Amino acid sequence: MPILTLTTDIGQRDYLVGAIKGQFLSVDQRFQINDITHYLSQTNFPQAAYICSNAFKYYPAGTFHLVLINLYETTPKQLLVAKYHDQIIICPDNGILTMITGEMPKELMALPVRGQNTLLELTQLIADSIIKGQGDKSFSFKGAQAKQIVERYPLRPTIGPDWMDGQVLFIDSFENVVVNITKEEFEAHRNGRKFKIFLRRNDAFESISNNYTDVPGTEKLAWFNSAGYLELALRNGNMAGLFGLQVFNEQMQQSRAAMENKWFYQTIKVLFE
């Protein structure tokens, strides 16, 4: 049974998600359609990439993943279809593809878009051109090759001899804070040394927990979550709200004045000794 996932920024207060599902089921009733989220931030591509990349890898090979984020930042000229780790990703040509994959996929084709199109016209184009007739067959990249696409890449931590600076990548519904430092990066740079992870100048984590039960009551903890990223949390509490932490924002990065005012709240510093 073919599988299709939907990940969008359009919310679920109106008919659009249901209409998109209806379009794909009308093309092939065998499709099993799964929602990942419809509440992506329209402009926070690092957050969207974190959600997509860590969800997609658990799906069977050959799954179709439709990602719709900031679709009308400019008039769409082409949609992208890429194969990455045996998953088929369909998305706008606005940089989200390379944010998710972290590299240029080797198998990549373009789906040309002509004229002004509504959201449902574009999703119908995808259903008719990409999904129709696939069934249980492997997807074949025989369409127009995508020659020049918009490229954006995931945020990487800044590293010095005895320090790392990471950005707040995601804040979950419990306001736990995910930082763009992976366990592999942390341990490789730590190299057995002691460390301090700073939220404020005099407020630091000096150990890594295995899970939330390692600390009592409302104590704070640092641990590596299921995706392998550094997560800062407050057991039975609100870490982001208590410490004034915010997700990293590319628009803020582009504004020097804003970054000077809020830089500390966007960056988590790790010192090794």
Tens-digit pLDDT profile for residues 30-84: 889 999 999 999 889 999 999 999 999 999 999 999 999 999 988 888 999 999 9
Q: Give residue for tokens 């799906």.
A: 59
Fold classified for 158-272: Elongation Factor Tu (Ef-tu); domain 3 (2.40.30)
What local confidence, expressed as pLDDT, does residue 149 receive? 93
Q: What is the mean pLDDT of residues 226-250?
A: 81
Residues paired with residue 170 on neighbouring β-strands, in sequence order: 178
Distance CA 261, CA 270 (A): 21
Question: What six digits make up the tokens of 57?
Answer: 């890898």
User: Does pLDDT of 197 surpass 70?
Assistant: yes
Q: With 0-12 CB in 10 A as exposed, 13-18 as middle and 19+ as buried, what is 28?
A: middle
Mean pLDDT of the chain: 87
| Integer Cα distance of 138 and 86 in angstroms | 10
pLDDT of residue 68: 97
Neighbours of 205 (CB within 10 A): 19
Number of C-alpha atoms within 13 angstroms, CB side, residue 8? 20
Cα distances from 125 to residues 69, 90, 114, 118, in angstroms, run 17, 12, 11, 11
User: In this predicted model, what pLDDT tens digit does every residue of 74-129 receive, in sequence order?
Assistant: 888 899 999 999 999 999 999 999 999 999 998 999 998 988 789 999 999 999 88
Phi and psi dihedrals of 28, rounded to 5? -150, 105
Confidence at residue 136, expressed as pLDDT on a 0 to 100 scale: 52
Q: Where in the chain are the domains? A: 3-145, 158-272
pTM given for the model: 0.86
In angstroms, what is the C-alpha Rg of the chain?
21
State residue 237's pLDDT score.
Answer: 84
Percent pLDDT > 70 in the chain is: 87
Report whether pLDDT(143) > 80. no
Q: Which two tokens stand for residue 55?
A: 């969800």
Tell me whether strands 107-112 and 144-145 are parallel, antiparallel or unpaired: antiparallel
pLDDT at 267: 85
What is the fold of 3-145? Answer: Rossmann fold (3.40.50)
State the pLDDT confidence band at 134, using cuts at 50, 70 and 90. Answer: low
- pLDDT per residue as tens digits for the range 157-185: 999 999 999 998 888 888 899 999 999 99
Cβ–Cβ < 8 Å for 31, 24:
yes
Check for a shared fold between 3-145 and 158-272: no
